[in-house]
Amino acid sequence: MMPTRFDALPTATWPRLRNLLDGHAAGGPVINMTIGEPKHKFPDWVRPTLVEAMEGFNSYPDNNGTPELRGAITGFLQRRYAIDLDMDNQVMVLNGTREGLFNAVVALGQTGSKILIPNPFYQVYTVAAMAIGAQSVYLQARAESGFLPDLDALTPEELNQTSVFFLCSPSNPQGAVASEAYWSRLLTLAETYDFKIFADECYSEIYRAAPPPGALQVAAQMGADPERVVAFHSLSKRSNLPGLRSGFVASGPKNISRIKQLRAYAGCPVAGPIQHVSAKV
């Protein structure tokens, strides 16, 4: 007998899109509009930096991230968002953000709760909700609300049942940016109704003028509980290094402790040479 808990699991986004596109002949030169892979070359120094650390493949890597990399992560967060986090207790290295987003729901989400997800959305959000027996609630991100969920449309009953609220800013595919006022409003709701904000910020360094504000940044300015926000970042888009599979999660020490505990079993450590390169980026 096969388990039924994932019977409703949809085909993953990119294979499904591939099947849709393969049924139609191209009307001209093919433009790849599927996975959103960076097309610019990665930095020239990455190759020699990786080569110089190759012997690291001979050792098991640090599951939580080397001190060198964790220090680089907290340094980035300080320079970018003017926030000071403890590199030993408030950040953890990830294989990109996908496994981190999934495992964080497993570690911190509540079975039977609602998980609020902007629509359009990254499918990992809703599959993670399925994994813990939570209900995905899709919040339309329409033009009239700035292509972000309308926070004023949420009901107290709905918010009282919520354990996680996902928000991607800048968003994909809309490119909408949550302002400091938007983050502040969402944080106020999170504190009032006791849920966590999962801030997917893997596009944080793609902007034309002012850098987008971050959830942890606004939380610090408000004096909000640091456990309210779980922020995810990646080098994939920022540094044209999607194949490096290097990212991190940052939050309060209690959240990070629970994620670390789960990831010690359910996550694959980032290879030592990759951590070495990531620390230089």
pLDDT (0 to 100) of residue 5: 72
- What is the CA angle 128-153-170, rounded to 5? 55
Non-local CB neighbours of 27 within 8 Å, separated by 6+ positions: none
Rounded CA-CA distance 113/106 in Å is 12
Enter the tokens of residue 7.
């019977």
Question: For 240, phi and psi rounded to 5 degrees?
Answer: 55, 40
Instruction: Classify residue 179 by burial, with Cβ atoms within 10 Å: 0-12, 13-18, 19+.
Output: middle
46-280 CATH: 3.40.640.10
Low pLDDT (below 50) residues in the chain: none
Least Cα distance to 91 among 186, 232, 213 occurs for: 232
Q: For 57-113, what is each residue's pLDDT tens digit?
A: 999 998 899 999 999 999 999 999 999 999 999 999 999 899 999 999 999 999 999
Pairwise CA distance, residues 28 & 193, whole Å: 52
Query: Residue 84 contacts by C-beta under 8 Å, 6 or more apart in sequence?
Result: 74, 78
Query: Residue 95's closest CA among 1, 235, 250?
Result: 235
pLDDT of residue 129: 95
Q: Locate 33 and state its tokens.
A: 């509009």
